[in-house]
Amino acid sequence: MTQKIQMVDLKAQYLEIKPEIDAAIQSVIDRSAFINGQEVKDFAKNLEDYLGAKHVIPCGNGTDAIQIALMALGLEPGDEVITVPFTFVATAEVIALLQLKPVFVDVNPCTFTLDEYQLEKAITPKTKCIIPVHLFGQISNMEAIMEIANKHNLSVVEDNAQAIGADFTFSDGAVKKAGTIGTIGTTSFFPSKNLGCYGDGGAIFTNDDDLATELRMIINHGSRIKYYHPTIGVNSRLDTMQAAVLDIKLKHLDRYCQSRFEAAQYYNEKLATIGELKTPKIASYSSHVFHQYTLLVEGGKRDALLEHLKKHDIPCAVYYPVPLHMQEAYVKTSGYKEGDMPVSESLAARVLSLPMHSELDRKTQDEILSVIYTFFE
């Protein structure tokens, strides 16, 4: 029996860089500066260089990163924050936790990211911020979103947990990294993310010096000088061991993204003949780093295909089965109902994500594909 196929193969990825990782972890233990050690500063600096961002502020996880970004923007309870309903819950959760009001704008049916054509009609005098989510590894239309945000004087926080490493190309040819275009960008280093650590981690990016000062204060109990607290903050740190791991993996990030892209191309090619499957579309303005490889299954067959794959030991997943405007926690307070976000609702019933990671080889993909073929025979 060959090894079981994985959705994400973190062990294989580790084994490939084991000597580097083991040495880095040992060196953290040898020095024992487990919090705010030199590795945290080194990693932040290297990520700034990689992204072309002026400030990278590491923090505890990707959810904290969004929350801290919103705290730094000085929003008032009741202010409206626009985001998408087709995403992981973290994005809307922190809006609600800060007593702000989540306002949903539906997504584009091809790219699964915020539909810029529906954005302006959701803006009210209470709107203060937009959080586009760069879902599955593709950047939202940031040029259009920034144009609308600037016109209405709104902040933009890019939830870049899934697209680190992706490039955005503006109509004038300029290229920027995902997460560095808005007022603030946030990311997660959850192990299965494209740049993942061996536990929890996250970071916040900005090019604005004043915001950077505020963000650094908020992650550290609202303090710059020890035991003096001009503002209310949180405790959200990236620990030294995680930073050491990330600093090594950052050097491999472009290669990881490239091998995900190649695996995606292979799936696309081999699935093109199946009429009831729609392979992922890539927008002209963004590269795609394939955090997820997500198909649309037509003809009401998604759940049957999912069962078929599971029965044959092929892992797969539905990201995400219930759009946020229909989640119990948000229905109660927000007044949204089924039918309000037709694209997200339709996607939730049709999406299916296949195994995707940087070590996925063509032989494993062939095994996965052969099981898909038998379903459509």
Ligand X SMILES: *Cc1c(COP(=O)(O)O)cnc(C)c1O
- 354 — phi, psi (to 5°)? -95, 165
Tell which one of 102, 165, 182, 202 touches ligand X (CB under 6 A). 202
Residues 149-188 that bind ligand X (CB under 6 A): 159, 161-162, 188
Tell which one of 83, 87, 108, 140 touches ligand X (CB under 6 A). 87
Closest approach, Cβ 225 to ligand X, in A, equals: 29
Q: Provide the token pair at 336.
A: 């949204």
Closest approach, Cβ 17 to ligand X, in A, equals: 22
Q: Are strands 80-83 and 127-131 parallel, antiparallel or unpaired?
A: parallel
Instruction: Establish if 294 lies at the interface with ligand X (CB under 6 A).
Output: no
CB atoms within 10 A of CB 306: 16
Q: Which is nearer to ligand X, 155 or 365 (CB)?
A: 155
Q: Which is nearer to ligand X, 37 or 132 (CB)?
A: 132
Q: Provide the token pair at 163.
A: 């697209």
Q: Which is nearer to ligand X, 193 or 270 (CB)?
A: 193
Closest approach, Cβ 335 to ligand X, in A, equals: 24
Closest approach, Cβ 157 to ligand X, in A, equals: 11
Tell which one of 13, 40, 44, 88 touches ligand X (CB under 6 A). 88
**Which listed range, 59-67, 123-131, 309-317, 361-369, lies at the site for ligand X (CB under 6 A)?**
59-67
Residue with tokens 């299916």: 352
Closest approach, Cβ 55 to ligand X, in A, equals: 19
Instruction: Establish if 61 lies at the interface with ligand X (CB under 6 A).
Output: yes
Instruction: Establish if 136 lies at the interface with ligand X (CB under 6 A).
Output: no
How many residues form the binding site for ligand X (CB under 6 A)? Answer: 15
Instruction: Establish if 91 lies at the interface with ligand X (CB under 6 A).
Output: yes
Whose CA is closest to 320, among 138, 84, 97, 159? 84
Instruction: Establish if 133 lies at the interface with ligand X (CB under 6 A).
Output: yes
- Kindly report the CA angle at 191 between 252 and 29, in degrees rounded to 5? 80
Closest approach, Cβ 289 to ligand X, in A, equals: 13
Which contacts of 91-98 are long-range, i.e. CB under 8 A and separated by 24 or more positions? 91/66, 91/131, 91/133, 91/159, 91/324, 92/324, 92/330, 93/63, 94/63, 94/66, 94/67, 94/70, 95/70, 95/131, 96/329, 96/330, 96/333, 97/67, 98/67, 98/70, 98/71
- Helices assigned H by DSSP within 152-220: 209-219
Closest approach, Cβ 1 to ligand X, in A, equals: 32
- Binding residues (CB under 6 A) for ligand X: these are 61-63, 87-88, 90-91, 133, 159, 161-162, 188, 190, 200, 202
